[in-house]
Chains A and B, each alone.
Chain A
Amino acid sequence: MADNNTIKRTEQAELTPAAGVASYEQVQKEHKAYFNIVKKRYLWFALSALLLIPSIISLAVQGLNLGIDFTGGTMLDIQFNQKVTQAQITESLDSVGLTGQVQLSQEDTEALIRTEALDPEKRDALLASIKENAGEFDSEKLGEDLVGPAIGAELRTNAFKALIVATILILAYVTLRFRLIYAIGGIVALAHDILITLGIFSIFQWQVEAAFIAAILTVFGYSINDTVVIYDRMRENEKRLKKRDSYEDMVDKSVWQSMERSVKTSMTVLIALFAIFILGGASTKVFALAMIIGVTTGTYSSIFIASQIVVELRKRFRVNITKKEAQV
């Protein structure tokens, strides 16, 4: 009975748990690989520029290799009962007056054919010709996508709209919960991640379909999530900031305090993505690849870009902020 009482008292005392405060020195000592991230911020900006510039140039010059989901067209996925050759399929396309791309996989037993949007008559004629030229295929495993040009254009505008709406919502929320400079840092980091992901797809001219949009928007959600976790730490530490304390040191401390979480979370997400990439079907592969690139840059940008931009913006516009704060 007496025992119970003591336990209850301790419980009461700890009902409102105050979060602990580690000193900057403690945080530095804890991480074996510690280095000052904030002081080297121009190095990170340069590193990002190194990735961003070729990405932007490639996007401007050759753009993305858009698949039929965006441009309109027909895509046939045919699994044959035997090996086929590129020539056999091209010949079939020729015989019905079509041109298109042919891609063989699965040891030349599967063909992916991309051509203009086919009406049902033309489609049937093409399939008949393929059967004649290249041999029997499994109709149970036939995949076909037909996208009219109007639908393709809609997909592009809708994706663009979704991106704009998401950006505005996130900008508003982060400004509300943190500050405008935080929101700007977050959006710059987002643009950074998306441009690099798009850029890499553009440089290598990997074909993108509708699933790619979902991947880009997920990167969008993931990257801002990652950034906000670090922002949250900065917000918490900023409250305890005394007048003499350096803002830069506070940010550096916050970034390092979130480091283990950032690394571990990225690892779990990457585990899941690699599983999809290796085991998933062709359409999910592109999705996983875009996500792998996006998650990697997203983790990088939340540590090395977003919070560093906040530092930089604060330094440049310090007067304004202190004035504002004085008013509040």
Chain B
Amino acid sequence: MKRGNIIKLALTVILVTVAVFFSIQPLTNPDTGIPLGLDLRGGVHLVLQAEPDKDGNPVTEEDIDKAKAIIDQRVNSLGVAEPYIQADYDKKRIIVELAGIEDPDQAVNILRTTAKLTFRDAEGNILLDGTELKDAKAGVDTSGTRTDYVVHITFTPEGTKEFGQITTEYLGKQIGIYLDEERIQNPVVNTPILTGEGQIQGYSSLEEAAQYAILLRSGALPVSMSIAEKRQVGAQLGADSLSKSLDALLYAAVLILLFMVIVYRLPGMVADFSLVLFSLIVLWLLYAIGTVLTLPGIAGLVLSVGMAVDLNIIVYERIKEEIKLGKSLRAAVDAGFSRAFLTVLDSNITTLFAALALFLLGSSSIKGFAITLIIGIIASLFTAITFTRMLMRWIVGINPRMSKSLFGVRSDI
């Protein structure tokens, strides 16, 4: 019994140490680890508001789709590693987040300028303006020997005439389709298009065709976008914030770990050890659900460490009480955990409600805080009732008559 428990404890310590050792690299790798938010590595967060046009026509969902397609296209041209672009149809907004970008000023300028679709010749001279393109739709052409994904294009009456002349002149040659200064398509003219209706062939899937159709349409109907919100953080400023908050996290952790050992002795060490596992679980969960770690997120982490410690304090105080009432160590540990579990369940669920409300209704930065807090609460409940409890049982199992002062109980009581 004795030796068995010591071996189990030793194995657990080794296992967790190894887990920590092998977790550091995958979690902190700058490219594949937990992604850092732009407040920690620099970048820009933009909320672009679509404005109704001069005639006061309201912005439609389709307009937002088009605008998003243009912005997607432009962001890609900027070469940002993992851009976040999201359309908010209710509020007619597009949210763009570019973390780790070198020149945020330039990026903002590129994103803001109105997109313009043009048809150009091989030398880049403009042949036809995109405003003459009435519509572009993805479709399937089965007239040939094989299924072909195409984009049907339709021109305005004026455009029909001009495009007819152009396709006659450039028969067999390439016509570049440009969005602003970027060539997005370079089809060869197979036949002169005189009716104002043609098709571009050669897409590998319907999705691809649809994507290009949106891009083509977008040039024809640009929505003007204003900046509703902008958060710009210089790369060095982000790095400074990261190192400052890591320092804060480190000092907080060391002080709390020390506090627990001083106050609770042996169980304090168990709590500290459980906190290591708790941190591992939280970080891996954050990693698994793809959370971006931000400054408020780190604050949430610190708070959830506090909550996890509180859980141990509630349990240990209960154990101390039971010991003082004359229970054996083993009985005190069991009673302490099962009774304290009810307490922490109720208290943590109420906190969870607050965090949930934050998550559902908060702005994006507050969401980051809420998510780490929610994960932290769940992980701390889990570690305390499984892992910490198991370790404590093993420890009291080593020697049921071990000194109670190891549990922070004064021996005179």
Binding site for B on A (CB under 8 A): 4, 7, 10-11, 14-15, 17-22, 30, 77, 79, 119-120, 138-148, 150-151, 154-155, 158-159, 161-163, 165-166, 169-170, 173-174, 177, 210-211, 213-214, 217-218, 220-222, 224-226, 228-229, 231-233, 236, 257, 260-261, 264-265, 267-269, 271-273, 275-276, 278-281, 283-284, 287
Contacts and interface: CB of A to CB of B under 8 A. Distances in A.
Interface in B133-184: none
Nearest to A162: B361
A174 B350 CA distance: 8
Interface string B215-249: 00000000000111111111111001100110111
Given A20-B325, A142-B237, A272 B306 contact: yes
A151 B229 CA distance: 7
SS of A interface (majority)? helix
B261 to A, nearest CB: 12
Contacts of A232: 342-343, 346-347
Contacts of B356: 166, 169
B327 A20 contact: yes
A106 B209 CA distance: 55
Interface stretch (B8-16, B75-83, B328-336): B328-336
B255 interface: yes
Nearest to A151: B229
Contact of B235 (A140, A145, A162, A211): A140
Contact of A22 (B251, B302, B325, B334): B325
B256 interface: yes
B94 interface: no
Contacts of B260: 268
B360 A284 contact: no
B227 A146 contact: yes
Contacts of B236: 138, 140-141
A110 to B, nearest CB: 10
B71 interface: no
Contact of A162 (B295, B327, B360): B360
A19 B351 contact: no
B353 interface: yes
Contacts of A233: 343
A4 B2 CA distance: 11
B305 interface: yes
Nearest to B318: A19
Contacts of B322: 19-20
B180 to A, nearest CB: 17
B255 to A, nearest CB: 5
B237 A143 contact: yes
A147 B229 contact: yes
A221 B108 contact: no
7 contacts: A143-B237, A144-B231, A221-B355, A224-B354, A264-B313, A269-B306, A275-B252
Interface stretch (B25-33, B200-208, B362-370): B362-370
A155 B328 CA distance: 55
A140 B42 CA distance: 9
